[in-house]
């Protein structure tokens, strides 16, 4: 018999937990169109449900403050220690997910070239792109953990489904 790690749910459990949480988030946000309110609620509900989520929140696509070319990622609603305010698209894990328009899972942040350390306790990270109903990238959802390799494809699918239901429908 192989024992499951005690602190992390098995992939099956995780899938079920994400599905149940997605339903709860839908119920809480029913009738609320404001994007900031929706992001803040998603961050709070995810952080409360998964105790190994050290930093949970959104970076939102926005213009550079100096009117420079290209978009940046600007801190949005989050739960956790003070995060950096702006990230250039293409930089760090968040910028990579935004540039690729795809989920990025990093098992060891020290091994990711260009990782931006906001909370020095962070050891692993997952970043999921967030699209609106027209398919436009509006930001990313970033989750950090103090544990190595805390995230896998089940987290990717669970978080992608939540942001799809909350921001693209």
Task: Work out the number of other CB atoms within 10 angstroms of the CB of residue 24.
Answer: 12
Q: Indicate whether 98 belongs to the interface with ligand SME (CB under 6 A).
A: no
Binds ligand SME by CB under 6 A, chosen from 43, 45, 94, 141: 94
**What are the residues facing 87 on neighbouring strands?**
73
Residues between 31 and 70 with contacts to ligand SME, criterion CB under 6 A: 55
Binds ligand SME by CB under 6 A, chosen from 21, 35, 58, 92: 92
Task: Work out the number of other CB atoms within 10 angstroms of the CB of residue 158.
Answer: 23
Cβ 47 vs Cβ 56: under 8 Å: yes
Name the residue among 87, 144, 101 with its Cα closest to residue 120. 144
Q: Indicate whether 107 belongs to the interface with ligand SME (CB under 6 A).
A: no
Q: Indicate whether 155 belongs to the interface with ligand SME (CB under 6 A).
A: no
Binding region for ligand SME (CB under 6 A) out of 3-11, 32-40, 111-119, 146-154: 111-119
Binding region for ligand SME (CB under 6 A) out of 20-28, 43-51, 63-71, 81-89: 81-89
d(CA 50, CA 52) in angstroms, rounded, equals 6
């Amino acid at each position: 018999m192989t024992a499951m790690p005690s602190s992390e749910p098995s992939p099956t459990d995780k899938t079920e937990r994400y599905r149940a949480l997605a339903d709860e988030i839908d119920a809480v946000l029913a009738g609320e169109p404001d994007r900031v309110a929706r992001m803040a609620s998603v961050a709070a509900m995810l952080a409360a449900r998964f105790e190994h989520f050290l930093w949970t929140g959104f970076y939102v696509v926005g213009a550079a403050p100096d009117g420079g070319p290209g978009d940046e990622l600007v801190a949005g609603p989050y739960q956790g220690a003070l995060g950096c305010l702006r990230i250039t698209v293409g930089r760090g894990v968040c910028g990579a997910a935004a540039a690729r328009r795809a989920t990025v899972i990093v098992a060891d942040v020290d091994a990711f070239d260009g990782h931006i350390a906001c909370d020095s306790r962070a050891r692993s990270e997952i970043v999921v792109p967030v699209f609106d109903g027209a398919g436009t990238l509006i930001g990313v959802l970033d989750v950090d953990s103090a544990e190595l390799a805390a995230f896998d494809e089940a987290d990717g699918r669970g978080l992608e489904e939540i942001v799809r239901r909350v921001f693209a429908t």
